[in-house]
């Protein structure tokens, strides 16, 4: 079924997607918002899982209330909501989705907003695939939505503002984090001054950071700068973690290793934008390691350059990680631009209404840039694996199996064909940058010069029966 009734389709129901949807709908546009999760809110505004009754919403913190207000904006008659619906591909102007019960559906709108968010940056080192090694996002989801702590002795290794935020949040939720290491050095006075000069318009975030720091101090949880995780060991699950001091490039300094016992290792080294759909659309990209590597190129309205017959807007963390306030402002700006583009809002009115959001976006971005300078991700993060480390966890491909292939190619798609690395369920979301870094090192190039694997549909796993035509029988391949 092709659904052509919508002016706009928005992919992603986090702050960016919700803001774009409700803004565009408030000017009379008919909008469909699609998210693969069961509820809207995205990463930051995850709702409690099924079966929980909320006695006092205030106890769930200010993020919960902000999320509830935002999600309520979707209750407008011109908005159609599609949850548990995964976008599998976009072909020309057709967005193809799959739902576990309702099956495949196609949308054919006049404009498209893609707001797919980001995911935890995978860090590859010996032992990273052991049970008990978890990304911060996964641990956060467990404690936030199910109120379950993954362990009794949690070691937190990471970098950037969310390493501080996550570890403090986990402690608040009752998860026993006993130590935190941060790979960046203690910020220099110049970097702190840079941060102070950009704090205007960001007092809420600065206040949050101080509260997170004081949570760790009050619980006497040590926080060490300039250290990185190098190994996790245990029989069947994590029992010990090893970390070491780093040099300027985050390479571990021999002789500085410390071994600690832990039953959970939580990793929070930042995020990678989910750019699969932008790659399918052949959008242009920039590169910024600290914002997650490749980031889609766009103007301040979110409009991308692509060969698609309809305008494609990219907003939120999926375009480079800048946080939820910036994501929301980006969504509002895209919504205003689309309303103007489709004739529901005059250009003068669009420009008047966008002023406040542009100001907020500039202030938020300035603050984020100052933070990024304090926590620049260095290339040592890609140098932690040894020959026996599994690089592609979906297909269990080790470094020593990829090594001979990269001798003769710089092409990730060739590495995939020869070694199966990147061919599995996650479609290289976890291993692609690591392999790119191995290629870059071997061929003396920069990681930004190593292009993506060729993007393929479906961008997310789907049952073959949902997308295949059951009337086609091919005896040669399928046994009845
Ligand atoms: C794991 C994690 C935890 C975070 N925790 C915090 C925190 O505690 N505090 C904080 O301030 N910030 C946090 N952040 C950052 C914050 O979540 C983001 O800045 C903010 O949510 C960005 O909003 P967004 O709308 O761009 O993306 P998101 O909120 O990530 O929303 C994107 C949505 O798109 C959907 N989606 C993606 N691909 C598809 C597809 N193919 N089909 C259908 N739906 C799709 C996803 O299900 C998701 O709901 C976290 C980020 C991550 C990745």
**Per-residue pLDDT for 479 more than 60?**
no
Residue 3: per-residue pLDDT: 78
Supply angle C-alpha 470, 473, 476, rounded to 5: 140
CATH superfamily label, 122-269: FAD/NAD(P)-binding domain (3.50.50.60)
User: Does the CA dihedral 14-20-24-29 come out positive or negative?
Assistant: negative
Other C-beta atoms closer than 10 Å to the C-beta of 220 total 7
For the Cβ of 422 lying below 6 angstroms from any atom of ligand 1, the answer is no
**Per-residue pLDDT for 359 more than 90?**
yes
Distance 15 CA to ligand 1 centre (A): 8
For the Cβ of 326 lying below 6 angstroms from any atom of ligand 1, the answer is no
Please give the Cα distance from 160 to 158 (Å, whole number).
7
For the Cβ of 392 lying below 6 angstroms from any atom of ligand 1, the answer is no
At 375-421, the pLDDT tens digits run 999 999 999 999 999 999 999 999 999 999 999 999 999 999 999 99
For the Cβ of 271 lying below 6 angstroms from any atom of ligand 1, the answer is yes
For the Cβ of 11 lying below 6 angstroms from any atom of ligand 1, the answer is yes
Q: Mean pLDDT over residues 335-353, rounded?
A: 97
Do you know the residue count of the chain? 480
Q: Mean pLDDT over residues 470-474, rounded?
A: 70
DSSP class of 448? G
The H-or-E segment that residue 312 falls in is: strand 312-314
Distance 415 CA to ligand 1 centre (A): 30
Residue 49: per-residue pLDDT: 65
Q: Mean pLDDT over residues 344-366, rounded?
A: 96
Beta bridge partners of 194: none
Beta bridge partners of 11: 34, 114
Distance 478 CA to ligand 1 centre (A): 39
Residue 474: per-residue pLDDT: 66
User: Can you give the C-alpha Rg of the chain in angstroms?
Assistant: 23
Please give the Cα distance from 291 to 156 (Å, whole number).
21
Contact 23, 332 (CB under 8 A): yes
Per-chain mean pLDDT for the chain: 92
Distance 117 CA to ligand 1 centre (A): 4
Please give the Cα distance from 403 to 387 (Å, whole number).
8
Contact 262, 154 (CB under 8 A): yes
Residue 478: per-residue pLDDT: 54
Among 10, 11, 14, say which to mutate for ligand 1: greatest number of ligand atoms within 8 Å of CB.
14
For the Cβ of 368 lying below 6 angstroms from any atom of ligand 1, the answer is no
What are the residue boundaries of the structural domains of the chain, listed by start?
2-119+272-372, 122-269, 385-480
Among 42, 71, 206, say which to mutate for ligand 1: greatest number of ligand atoms within 8 Å of CB.
42
Residue 380: per-residue pLDDT: 96
CATH number assigned to the domain covering 385-480: 1.10.10.1100
Query: Atom 30 in ligand 1: which residue has the minimum CA distance?
Result: 117
Residue 2: per-residue pLDDT: 76
- The CA-atom distances, in angstroms, between 189 and each of 185, 224, 476 are 12, 18, 69
For the Cβ of 364 lying below 6 angstroms from any atom of ligand 1, the answer is no
User: Are the folds of 2-119+272-372 and 122-269 the same?
Assistant: yes
Question: Which of 3.40.50.300, 3.40.50.720, 3.30.420.10, 3.50.50.60 is the CATH number of 2-119+272-372?
Answer: 3.50.50.60
For the Cβ of 37 lying below 6 angstroms from any atom of ligand 1, the answer is yes
**Per-residue pLDDT for 302 more than 90?**
yes
pLDDT band at 475; cut points 50, 70, 90: low
Query: Atom 3 in ligand 1: which residue has the minimum CA distance?
Result: 137
DSSP class of 445? -
User: Does the CA dihedral 214-216-220-222 come out positive or negative?
Assistant: negative
End-to-end CA distance of the chain: 28
For the Cβ of 95 lying below 6 angstroms from any atom of ligand 1, the answer is no
Residue 80: per-residue pLDDT: 97
Residue 415: both structure tokens together: 């590495």
Q: Mean pLDDT over residues 116-144, rounded?
A: 94
Distance 38 CA to ligand 1 centre (A): 14
- The CA-atom distances, in angstroms, between 276 and each of 104, 118, 281, 460 are 19, 11, 9, 9
Q: Mean pLDDT over residues 234-244, rounded?
A: 97
The H-or-E segment that residue 268 falls in is: strand 264-268
Q: Mean pLDDT over residues 99-124, rounded?
A: 95
For the Cβ of 459 lying below 6 angstroms from any atom of ligand 1, the answer is yes
The H-or-E segment that residue 33 falls in is: strand 31-34
Which atom of ligand 1 is the closest one to the Cα of 97? 42
Beta bridge partners of 157: 181, 267
**Per-residue pLDDT for 57 more than 70?**
no
Query: Atom 35 in ligand 1: which residue has the minimum CA distance?
Result: 12
Quick one: what percent of the chain has pLDDT higher than 70?
Answer: 95
Distance 46 CA to ligand 1 centre (A): 9
Query: Atom 48 in ligand 1: which residue has the minimum CA distance?
Result: 42
Phi, psi dihedral angles at 149 (to 5 degrees): -90, 135
Quick one: what percent of the chain has pLDDT higher than 90?
Answer: 74
**Per-residue pLDDT for 138 more than 80?**
yes
Residue 277: per-residue pLDDT: 95
For the Cβ of 115 lying below 6 angstroms from any atom of ligand 1, the answer is yes
DSSP class of 403? H
User: In 155-202, which ranges are continuous DSSP H helix?
Assistant: 161-172, 189-196
Residue (of 280, 310, 446) closest to 296 by Cα position = 280
Residues with Cβ within 8 Å of residue 257, at least 6 apart in sequence: 230, 242, 243, 244
Which parts of 160-291 are beta strand (E)?
A: 177-182, 223-225, 227-233, 240-245, 258-261, 264-268, 271-273, 285-288
The pTM of this model reads 0.92
Which atom of ligand 1 is the closest one to the Cα of 271? 53
Contact 124, 432 (CB under 8 A): no
Helix axes 399-406, 412-419, angle to 10 degrees: 120
For the Cβ of 276 lying below 6 angstroms from any atom of ligand 1, the answer is no
């Amino acid at each position: 079924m092709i659904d052509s009734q919508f002016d706009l389709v928005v992919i992603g129901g986090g702050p960016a997607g919700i803001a774009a949807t409700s803004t565009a709908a408030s000017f009379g546009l008919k909008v469909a918002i699609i998210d693969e999760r069961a509820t809207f809110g995205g990463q930051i505004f995850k709702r409690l899982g099924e079966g929980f009754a909320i006695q006092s919403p205030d106890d769930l913190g200010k993020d919960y209330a902000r999320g509830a207000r935002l999600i309520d904006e979707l209750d407008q008659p011109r908005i159609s909501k599609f949850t548990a619906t995964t976008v599998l591909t976009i072909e020309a102007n057709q967005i193809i989705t799959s739902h576990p019960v309702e099956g495949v559906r196609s949308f054919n709108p006049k404009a498209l907003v893609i707001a797919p968010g980001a995911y935890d940056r995978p860090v590859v080192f010996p032992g990273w695939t052991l049970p008990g090694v978890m990304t911060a996002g996964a641990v956060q989801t467990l404690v936030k939505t199910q109120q379950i702590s993954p362990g009794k002795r949690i070691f937190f290794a990471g970098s950037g503002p969310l390493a501080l935020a996550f570890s403090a949040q986990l402690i608040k939720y009752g998860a026993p984090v006993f130590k935190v290491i941060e790979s960046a050095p203690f910020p220099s006075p110049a970097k702190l001054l840079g941060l102070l000069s950009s704090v205007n318009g960001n007092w809420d975030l600065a206040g949050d950071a101080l509260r997170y720091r004081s949570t760790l101090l009050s619980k006497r949880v040590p926080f060490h700068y300039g250290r990185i995780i190098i190994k996790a060991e245990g029989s069947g699950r994590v029992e010990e973690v090893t970390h070491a001091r780093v040099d300027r490039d985050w390479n571990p300094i021999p002789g500085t290793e410390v071994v600690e016992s832990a039953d959970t290792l939580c990793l929070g080294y930042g995020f990678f934008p989910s750019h699969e759909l932008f790659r399918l659309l052949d959008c242009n990209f920039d590169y910024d390691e600290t914002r997650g590597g490749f980031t889609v190129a766009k103007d301040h309205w979110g409009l991308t350059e692509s060969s698609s017959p309809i305008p494609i807007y990219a907003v939120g963390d999926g375009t480079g990680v800048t946080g939820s306030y910036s994501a929301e402002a980006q969504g509002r700006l895209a919504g205003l631009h689309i309303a103007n583009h489709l004739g529901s809002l005059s250009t003068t009115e669009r420009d008047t209404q966008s002023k406040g959001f542009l100001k907020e976006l500039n202030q938020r971005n300035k603050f984020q840039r100052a933070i990024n300078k304090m926590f620049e991700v260095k290339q040592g993060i890609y140098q932690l694996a040894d020959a026996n480390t599994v690089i592609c966890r979906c297909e269990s491909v080790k470094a020593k199996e990829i090594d001979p292939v990269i001798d003769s190619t710089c092409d990730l798609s060739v590495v995939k064909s020869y070694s199966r690395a990147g061919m599995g369920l996650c479609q290289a979301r976890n291993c692609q940058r690591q392999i790119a870094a191995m290629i870059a090192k071997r061929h003396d190039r920069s990681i930004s010069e190593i292009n993506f694997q060729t993007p393929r549909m479906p961008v997310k796993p789907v049952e073959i029966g949902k997308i295949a035509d059951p009337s086609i029988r091919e005896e040669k391949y399928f046994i009845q």
